[in-house]
Structure 1
Amino acid sequence: MSGFDPLASFRLDGKVVVITGASSGLGVRFAQVVDGLGGIGVLAARRKERLDDLVGTLEHAEAVACDVGEAGANEALVEHALDRHGRVDVVVANAGIANAVPAAKESVDGYREVVDIDLVAPFALARAAYGPMRAQGSGSIVMVASVAGFRSMELLPQASYVAAKTGLIGLTRELGLQWARHGIRVNALCPGMFPTEMTTGVTDHAEVTEMFEAAVPMRRLGRTGELDGAVALLVSDASSYMTGQTLVVDGGVAC
């Protein structure tokens, strides 16, 4: 078919994309993917200086200091994007923390902190984006959950993280259902184990890495770039008829 471009729907030219947790790990790569697709990145994290360094390597992006765990921070972030660009087309709720400790040794306050950052903050971000997205009749919300929402691993005890990510998958399904009529799509990306700042306790020790790799059907951890296609799909119109879904990229762990 002459002139047919199956990749055209993946483009984000002129679209405003808010990404939290963009100063390190998967968030950096997500920002690079969005920039490569032509999107305008509003990149948020607590460590502004690291965001500034990242923005210096991108074509269309800005850095915003934001602690998603603070009251009103998510709402202020969306308001900033609206003030600067007049619209918000995509939000990627990527900011997260983990507390790898046996449940019997995890404090209630520590548990609450993880749930606040990993589950409550994504809801606050989505809720803040709902109004402008409904007004414009379109929008894509991507919740970055985890394969931990489907399977617990004896090697990595983390009750708070598992509970939060499991809840995030349920929240994705519920918001996808409630907001579909307004043209707002809500989907979740569920990565397996990838080498990031958060997973250094695993990936910095060869013997521990080998134990985790043995539990993965593909017998290895994820590699840089292996989430690019999934992210591009969920943030773009390539997934325009997809909502309330979870996309698992984990080497087969959740099979």
Structure 2
Amino acid sequence: MSVQRRNNVHIVGGGDATLVFAHGFGCDQNMWRFLAPYYATRYRTVLFDLVGSGQSDHAAYDRGKYGSLHGYADDLVEIVDEFGKGPVVFVGHSVSAMIGMLATIKAPERFAAQVMIGPSACYLNDGYYLGGFARRDLEELLARMEENYLEWSTAMAPLIMGAPNQPKLGKELTDSFCRSNPDIARHFARVTFLSDLRDEVCASNTPALILQCTDDLIAPRTAGEFLQRQLPRASLRMIENIGHCAHMSAPGACVREIDAYLAGVLR
């Protein structure tokens, strides 16, 4: 099976550098429509769906391979090897920000920089580390998903999106969650929310821009601050925004920060 078919890869635009966009849980590449077209006027842009999401080949979903985020990182390296031209900047939202970080550790020579929107190395509170969730609360969240995935999606998606002044975005995220294969989504959610990459962060020497929302139910400011401290070459910028999806609800603010960052790393 080709990488392009497996991950539903699309290439738009052209330029001396490549931007690779990766979506978060329950989403697909369409969630980048507020950012990617802007960058396609200057760069080669690569969009894809994680296996098991969107229009990827769901038959390629292997619970063993994708039982950790490393399986997705291996896919990303293959995508960059095949479709990345010139300096490659990875732009990942939420869990894909961490998938991208793992890919930069596996193949550091393939990445010029990484942009992490709403990342978290660990969602659980652990001693002095504040990931945002007590273990009991997180286990309850996952149990509710197991019991009734559609009901969970309808309740949680608007909260994850936030953006109280843009209710259509909450509806869109709800619809996206509900379109997902429930069995794959439940497995991916458990892999995502129970992942702990804190010990691996310092191995990524690829320059990083961390974009964190000021009010994020999923990835609090402390998660971004931890990554800033542990990544050897990272900067943190706060986006004034309610919700976990700044690339959709505050795209202008994201563009300003990303543009300023790219001007430095791609000069």
The answer, yes or no, to whether TM exceeds 0.5 is: no
Point out the structure with max Rg over C-alpha: 1
Category of TM-score, reference length = shorter chain: 0.3 to 0.5
